[in-house]
Amino acid sequence: MFKDWEKAEKGTRLPLETVLDALKYNADGLVPAIAQQHDTGEVLMMAWMNRASIEETLETGQVCYWSRSRQTYWRKGESSGHRQRLKSLKIDCDGDTLLLQVDQQGPACHTNRRDCFYFEADSNGVTVTADPVK
């Protein structure tokens, strides 16, 4: 289906059910979802969603992932308060990745850093680029 939609012009509207059916979920029924702060462009984290968590996120406007480690829905910020309010949910050209533009309340990372990408590699080594927040 995504192949058929490659030439679709800007403004073309597709039925949500059809598109969600056509997503290329992995063997566990999941697709990766990148979370980006909508106004600054910071990439905050990546997590996974199943079809029901996508639908819930679109309906409620609060981001809900699927936790692979806990094997349950993960309503981001439910216990920590570090919620992600959805600004837009985008799907890529071949339907196997999501981009969530969000408004992140507080830190996105479980280490209390703003984002999860605090190891920077170069050809000689890796540097920690942010302190954990106490």
94 is annotated as contributing to ligand binding: yes
Distance CA 81, CA 88 (A): 20
The residues in 84-123 that bind a copy of itself, with binding defined as CB under 8 A, are 88-95, 97, 99, 109-111, 113, 116-123
Q: CA angle, corner 47, sides to 123 and 128, nearest 5?
A: 35
Structure tokens at 88: 């837009």
The CB-of-81 to a copy of itself minimum distance in angstroms stands at: 19
C-alpha distances in Å from residue 117, one per residue of 34, 52, 74, 134? 12, 27, 20, 18
Examine residue 132 and tell whether it contacts a copy of itself (CB under 8 A): yes
Contact residue for a copy of itself among 12, 71, 72, 79 (CB under 8 A)? 12
The residues in 26-55 that bind a copy of itself, with binding defined as CB under 8 A, are 32, 34, 36, 40-43, 45-46, 54
64 is annotated as contributing to ligand binding: no
109 is annotated as contributing to ligand binding: yes
Sign, CA dihedral 75-79-80-83, equals: positive
Give CA 48 to chain center in angstroms: 7
Residues interacting with a copy of itself, by CB under 8 A? 5-16, 19-20, 32, 34, 36, 40-43, 45-46, 54, 58-59, 88-95, 97, 99, 109-111, 113, 116-132
